[in-house]
């Protein structure tokens, strides 16, 4: 899957602790496209919603 900065995707987040987000949530990709197109198997994302 090729992702780009600004894409909104679904992510399976771990079980929440405290008031943090958890379970299946929409996230927006904030990592720059240069890193998204590299061999890294991770992407910087921010969870949306409560």
The pLDDT tens digits of the residues spanning 15-38 come to: 888 887 778 999 999 999 999 999
Give the model's pLDDT for residue 32.
96
Sign of CA pseudo-dihedral 22, 27, 32, 36:
positive
Residue 48 scores a pLDDT above 80: yes
Going across the sheet that includes 8-13, the strands are 8-13, 23-29, 45-47
Average pLDDT of the chain? Answer: 89
Give the model's pLDDT for residue 21.
76
Q: Which of 2, 1, 20, 9 is nearest to 45 (CA)?
A: 9
Question: How does DSSP classify residue 36?
Answer: H
Residue 40: pLDDT band by 50, 70, 90 thresholds?
A: confident
């Amino acid at each position: 899957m090729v992702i780009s900065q600004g894409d909104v995707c679904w992510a399976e987040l771990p079980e929440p602790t405290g008031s943090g987000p958890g379970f299946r949530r929409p996230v927006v990709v904030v990592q720059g496209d240069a890193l998204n197109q590299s061999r890294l198997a991770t992407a910087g994302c921010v969870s949306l919603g409560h």
